[in-house]
Amino acid sequence: MATIEVDGLTKAYGDTLANDDLEFSIREGEIFGYLGPNGSGKSTTIRQLMGFQSPTAGTATLFGTDVRDQAALREVKSRIGFLPAEPAFDSGVTGAAFLDYQARLKGDSRRSELLELFTPPLERKIREYSTGNKQMLGIVQAFMHDPDLVILDEPTSGLDPLKQEAFNRFLRRESDDGLTVFFSSHVLGEVRRVCDRVGIIRDGRLVTVESVDDLLQRGGKRVRLHTDPPVTAATLDVDGVVDFESEGRQVQFTFTGDYDELFAELSQHHVVDIEIDEPPIEEVFIHYYGGPTAGGDGENAA
């Protein structure tokens, strides 16, 4: 049984579809990236998975429990860790008092371990916290009861680069030990580092669900080439060259064709230097968006 199963999930705000007939599943031990810009429908999906909003149509299950069944969902929430995009804290209490309260609700068997990795100043009141310290406090509360599933909405927002990297390493270790992760983000580089598969959402509809490796492979490779004399788009006679750009004696392009044909063509030129890299995942993402989306998903309007 999949840890999360989404079946026709739909949420409407008046005439606007925030989520439109979503279908996907997440396996045990998988880190599933849920990608889209702000306003694409990510947070609406999460609010329904957590039972904060009821679907207009369709449903989803967590550990086989229907999210529309509030009583049953409360029972399985002890197995779930949740980090919203904007955690709501009582700013007048200390970080320690907040974690103590959370411990009484759900347990804290891993609190000490997590506080060695993520270090909010527990003795200070939360109103004095920086954005990064608030995020670390939220991460600790999401994981400290040793959940089987975590649902994370923009989890590295506000973290400095070192803490982001520590969080990514921690998440991979937890996944290796069987934790299932729903990882919602608009930070595309994170997907490459931590996720196994990715679902891309646009204007409330799921555009694709596939492995990160497949997503990058379909985006081709980025080639930087220095030849003497320089090649041009016209003289580089091979199929699969797109986005050709010339910078002095160097050119760069994305290549989606047959590499044997590319190297056969390059053998006709004097190659001074060549680099072949995977494209930035942002370029792959643009393939699905192509520019600003129209209309948004209704989250802000709602």
Per residue in 186-209, is it b (16+ CB within 10 Å) or e — as a string? bebebbbebbbbbbbbbbbebeeb
pLDDT for the residue 215: 78
Same-domain check for residues 234 and 96: no
pLDDT for the residue 36: 86
pLDDT for the residue 70: 95
Contacts of 294 (CB under 8 A, 6+ apart): 203
Q: Are strands 221-227 and 271-277 parallel, antiparallel or unpaired?
A: antiparallel
Q: Mapping DSSP to helix (H, G, I), strand (E, B) and coil, where does residue 114 land?
A: helix
Same-domain check for residues 179 and 50: yes
Domain assignment of residue 284, yes or no: no
Domain assignment of residue 269, yes or no: yes
Same-domain check for residues 143 and 252: no
Range of the domain at 94: 4-216
Domain assignment of residue 10, yes or no: yes
Domain assignment of residue 299, yes or no: no
Same-domain check for residues 255 and 271: yes
Domain assignment of residue 17, yes or no: yes
Q: Is the pTM of this model over 0.85?
A: no
Is the Cβ–Cβ distance between 22 and 58 less than 8 Å? yes
- Chunked into runs of 10 residues, the chain (302 residues) has average pLDDT values of 95 95 97 90 96 97 97 96 93 97 96 97 97 97 98 94 95 96 86 90 92 78 92 91 89 90 94 85 66 41 34
Same-domain check for residues 94 and 233: no
**First-to-last C-alpha distance (Å) of the chain:** 34
pLDDT for the residue 192: 79
Q: Are strands 31-35 and 197-202 parallel, antiparallel or unpaired?
A: parallel
pLDDT for the residue 254: 87
Same-domain check for residues 25 and 155: yes
Domain assignment of residue 301, yes or no: no
Domain assignment of residue 63, yes or no: yes
| Closest alpha carbon to 132 in 106, 108, 166 | 166
**Which domain-ending residue is among 216, 237, 256?**
216
Contacts of 39 (CB under 8 A, 6+ apart): 293, 296, 297, 299, 300
pLDDT for the residue 284: 67
